[in-house]
Structure 1
Amino acid sequence: MDNYASFIGEALEKTRCRECVPSWEEIQVLMGRQEMLCTVHYPGPGSCQLHISSHTTANEVVRRMLEKLGLKESRNTFSLFEQNAHWERAVGGSTIIADILTRFENLSAKEPDSDSQWRLCFKLYCLLDADAISVDSIEYLFLFEQCHEMVVRGQLPACEENLQTLAALRLQSVIGDFSTHSPCPPLDELFPGHMVEARLLMPPCSPPALLPATQPPAQGCPPPQRFPGGLLGGALWNHTATAAHKQKVEQDLRLRSRLKEEAAAIMSTIVECWKGLAGYSRRDSMAAYLTIARQWSGFGCTLYEVDFYISSTGCFSQKLWLGVAATCVSLYRQGEAEALESFPYGQICSYGVSDSNTFKITAGDRDLLFETTKLTEIMQLMNAYFSAIRCQHGRGDDVVSITEGTAIEVGFHHLPPTPTPTLLELPSHPV
């Protein structure tokens, strides 16, 4: 009875409604008055198993992971992420972990493909002080692994030569010295795929020459006869469509063949570079990798794709990256290292969601509008950085408040209310 009373008491303290119907596994565990086991992965091959109840939140799991991994003294902040091979998102701090596990179970039943398997991952979230991370700490491994994720996704602007060096350093850190018997991972786990495809970009085909205008019939000659509509049209169309399809198939085969050739050439260069790293320890390889990555001025920021950008001064552009970092928000052309514009947090008066797919930042006397599908993610991360910065400045109680239907007020200026909720909560990191 004491266990039941304790369970009910803890559950009542957290009035957040469950998002999913409890799974059969959860019901069985509850009937046996036991706790569930939850596997939390972290960058690299590591994972931890934690006992959770039906009302354990993401914030609680993060605190326990910080204790287990000895990261409580870190100046950086961490979060739980739900992820599969192609997608990830930070988990809100008050989210019930049992709901996430039930959703994973439901998704896995619908999508049994191994690439679609879901998991919880504990990762660096706000990189506030990369220099303070000890090279011997597990946090340094987090930084290395998450940096490599950015490289493979094509989110670290660097020349091809540097990217090949990074791939070789990755092999040295993971496998050690080159050996003909060492299993080599596929290229897409070492090198950004878009760089391979970029080698195959062909100049746009010139438009076909215009046919000469039909000469009018000579005087006295009967006009040329036309076949009745539909008489041969079907036969001609079928023949043309078949020829076009055959040509496309042949073109695709040639393209795939060239992709394989380019990938093999790049892999060969990487392996040669790897051979030259013989004797490098894992620690040396990781340090050399991060030294090259830090050459980019935006190192440590999180990049979000922006479909369209316009400012009140008339500047506009398409297909950009919005980089959210510890000190500023910056705009980059995709693949370019230099920022188009950068806005330190001290200049940002307000930020928020202005409609279903538009994010608005007011910096000084400028209004900046970004069209993106990552509204919640951008909002969460900016909230987290502002909260962390204020805590570090000794203003821990004066955190950014989050309410539905209003913008987030950062300084003297705030966005007008919108009927759409701007954000539900901060991600799962204690700040």
Structure 2
Amino acid sequence: MPLQGVCWFLCCRQGFSLLGRDYGEKEEEESFELRNKEDSTSNGRSEVSEEMKSLIIEKNKMGLEEESEVLVKWLLRVVRGNWIKQRRYWFVLTQDSLDYYSGPEKGARRLGTLVLTNLCSVIWPDKQMYKETENKFNPEVVEHIYQHNPILKYTHGPLYAPLLPFPYGSLEHTHSGKGYGSVREEAVKLFNCLQQLESAQEPIPIIQGVLQTCLVLRPLRDEIYCQLVKQTSYTPAPYTAAHLRYWQLLTCMSCTFLPGPTVLKYLRFHLKIQSQSPESEMDNYASFISEALEKTKCRECVPSWEEIQMLMSREEMLCTVHYPGPGSCQLYISSHTTANEVIRRIQEKLGLLESKNTFALFEHNALWEQPVAGSALIADVLTFSTKETESKSQWKLCFKLYCLLDADSISVDSIEYLFLFEQCHEMVVRGHLPACEEDLQTLAALRLQITMGDFSTHAPCPPLDELFPGDMLEARVLMSLSGPQALPPCLVAAQCCPTSQRFPKGLLTGALWSHTTTAVNKRKVEQDICLRSRLKEEAAAVMGAILERWKGLAGYSRRDSMAAYLAIARQWSGFGCTLYEVDFYISSTGSFSQKLWLGVAATSVSLYRQGEAEALESLPYGQICSYGVSDGNTFKITAGDRDLLFETSKLTEIMQLMNAYFSAIRRQRDKSEDVDVTIAESTEVGCRQLASMQPPTLLELPSHPV
């Protein structure tokens, strides 16, 4: 490998690491500077495309004569002492050492060796210059540092080793299972990716690839920051689109990962230098990055395509948040916007800051719905939704009532009252409001009166599944079809025959089995057709009954219809609670039940049989001593001397909602009052006094790790 112009500092000392040394320490070891001979006579920069060849990728114990590839050059060794001396030596760079000889002849006397290990680093600037320039930004001194340390400046050539010292091939820094090599190898590959940005027609895939590698290989984050600082320093064409690609990637990095403290200090130094060119694109990016570094927390995923586009142009993203019902609003968000901030802004916009109830953001899909933690970054939520949802059109972010603490205080003229009605109707359609069929038909008719006004034969009618719980209709049809059905003669005969006669051994065994299987499949198809037919008949009958009730509501105003709807729903004692499906329930007394509802409300936790209005058991919060995860998917509640265990897949949602209700209880009580309630926070149900905790803000949704 050729070496064209080497200008850098090398230093080897025990425990020394790049950028990690206190520059105020006393110099005890020998440090020296190497200069190209041509550099001593020319005032320009040496060609830096090959400066990184001096950094070794692997450690190899080979003699000079055995070395397959060595770099040789006349260099000046600058020895610093009471005075500076420059001496000319013949330097030989191998894969594990830097040796200097009296001359280039074979057999020349070796005068010294610098062993290149993981303790050997390239440093910039030297200690005295660091003291002189820290917080002063003397342009002449800074210029001198960069001119005499080409390792700090932009290069067209490749890197042959990382800028930071990593262990040589350490197994702890490899991720072969994910397709990655060692950190040293990946660092060199990433620098090549950075250089490809200059000529790439579409840079976003490359940027996402670099960010993804940094997400997996944490040690590379500081390395990429150093590489980007290098490529944005003393660039030959700083105002071209190709050069700005480095600034765009640096912007994305600053909004995704924070560098370590030492590299962060160096990065801020670099940004201040760039800000000395006001009103330039580089200055705009430097200011944006400086502000981002004050807000950035480590992201859970790589920014999406849309977010990277916005970051490259230093703009904010437009996020759509839906309300219960058909309403929605659009908000501008940054990479640092949290769910709590969005909730606060929406409450201000809708005049809900004085509400006694709390609100949350929900991820909503046709198949599921789950709350978003208050501290979650909205940008991460949007990115996860893009990755995990097959049809993005079905996914949406919703602003809804979360803790219904005081339904009576909601004004009938407020938008909060509309939210309450819409969320109540969602519960009805999902089958989470136990009521008789007549009440459900009346609720469906009131829904039509509210949304469409008086009955009209020309008015388009919504599908039944938007008005009436489909599970109830299907269960009734299945019940009617559960009686004994006539079987085909072949199956009747088969059931009367002993097993030995039913499947005789011989040539025709396969044919007889095939005939029986075909008959069974045919019977199954017939049953499916019959089921669909019965479902259509029942749906038509139910829809007819709903329409008749709708006709009887002529003249009802929207407000009166909404009040009548909620009056029927409030007849259930569990109105306002959130229901979670529980696979099974075991009490300390040994009672066992399957397929229940666990209802979490403002004052208690209750158990219901699915479809039944009366609670099997209800536990006021004052009786609950602790709650949390017991084991796997098991949720445990301790009330006095009783332990209740629930098997459920909704552990996180249950914990989050119960935490929110307990937080509301603390806010309503006097701070000096002792609250004898404990919370389990880990897999071993631990206890913690709620009174000792700081009361959260109105919009805080505590989310304990599960």
Q: TM-score, normalised by structure 2?
A: 0.54
Distance 1:370 1:226, change over 3 A: closer
Q: Are 1:166 and 2:411 counterparts?
A: no
From 391, 395, 408, give the equivalent of 1:112.
391
- On the 8 A contact 1:93/1:428 being kept in 2, the answer is no
Distance 1:408 1:282, change over 3 A: farther
Distance 1:174 1:400, change over 3 A: farther
Q: Are 1:317 and 2:598 counterparts?
A: no
- On the 8 A contact 2:385/2:392 being kept in 1, the answer is no
Tell me the number of residue pairs that the alignment of Structure 1 and Structure 2 aligns. Answer: 404
What is the match of residue 299 of structure 1? 575
Distance 1:61 1:328, change over 3 A: same
Distance 1:211 1:31, change over 3 A: closer
Distance 1:371 1:104, change over 3 A: same
Q: Hey, what's the Cα distance between the residues in 2 that align with 1:100 and 1:134?
A: 33
- On the 8 A contact 2:365/2:396 being kept in 1, the answer is yes
- On the 8 A contact 2:679/2:689 being kept in 1, the answer is no
Q: Are 1:177 and 2:454 counterparts?
A: yes
Q: Hey, what's the Cα distance between the residues in 1 that align with 2:386 and 2:657?
A: 28
What is the match of residue 220 of structure 1? none
Q: Unaligned regions of 5+ residues in structure 2, if any?
A: 1-282, 691-695, 702-706
Partner amino acid for 1:57?
T
Q: CA deviation at 1:118?
A: 1.0
Q: Hey, what's the Cα distance between the residues in 1 that align with 2:410 and 2:502?
A: 80
- The root-mean-square deviation of aligned C-alpha atoms, in Å, is 2.9
Distance 1:4 1:294, change over 3 A: farther
Partner amino acid for 1:409?
C
Q: Are 1:32 and 2:313 counterparts?
A: yes
- On the 8 A contact 1:40/1:48 being kept in 2, the answer is yes
Q: CA deviation at 1:194?
A: 1.4
**SS in structure 1 opposite 2:629?**
strand
Partner amino acid for 1:430?
E
**SS in structure 1 opposite 2:399?**
strand
Partner amino acid for 1:349?
C
Q: CA deviation at 1:228?
A: 7.0
Q: Hey, what's the Cα distance between the residues in 2 that align with 1:95 and 1:392?
A: 26
User: What does 1:184-195 align with in structure 2 at a 5 Å threshold?
Assistant: 184-195=461-472
What is the match of residue 73 of structure 2? none
Distance 1:131 1:11, change over 3 A: farther
- On the 8 A contact 1:305/1:319 being kept in 2, the answer is yes
Q: Are 1:77 and 2:358 counterparts?
A: yes
CA deviation vs aligned residue, 1:388-420 (integer Å, no higher than 9, x gap)? 1111224399998885555463659xxxxxxxx
What is the match of residue 100 of structure 1? 381
User: What does 1:155-304 align with in structure 2 at a 5 Å threshold?
Assistant: 155-200=432-477, 201=479, 202-203=481-482, 205=484, 211=496, 229-304=505-580
CA deviation vs aligned residue, 1:19-40 (integer Å, no higher than 9, x gap)? 2211121112112111111111
Distance 1:151 1:225, change over 3 A: closer
- On the 8 A contact 1:328/1:342 being kept in 2, the answer is yes
Q: CA deviation at 1:329?
A: 0.3
Distance 1:147 1:46, change over 3 A: same
Q: Hey, what's the Cα distance between the residues in 2 that align with 1:348 and 1:171?
A: 42
Percent of paired sites with the same residue:
73
**SS in structure 2 opposite 1:199?**
helix
From 621, 629, 636, give the equivalent of 1:360.
636
Q: Unaligned regions of 5+ residues in structure 1, if any?
A: 215-223, 413-425
Partner amino acid for 1:135?
V
Q: Are 1:62 and 2:343 counterparts?
A: yes
CA deviation vs aligned residue, 1:8-65 (integer Å, no higher than 9, x gap)? 44554453x2122111211121121111111111101111111110011111111111
What is the match of residue 425 of structure 2? 148
Partner amino acid for 1:77?
T
- On the 8 A contact 2:627/2:678 being kept in 1, the answer is no
- On the 8 A contact 1:58/1:428 being kept in 2, the answer is no
Q: Which has the larger radius of gyration?
A: 2
Distance 1:308 1:402, change over 3 A: closer
CA deviation vs aligned residue, 1:157-180 (integer Å, no higher than 9, x gap)? 000000000000000001111111
Q: TM-score, normalised by structure 1?
A: 0.87
**SS in structure 2 opposite 1:74?**
coil
**SS in structure 2 opposite 1:361?**
strand
- Judge which range, 184-193 or 195-204, deviates more: 195-204
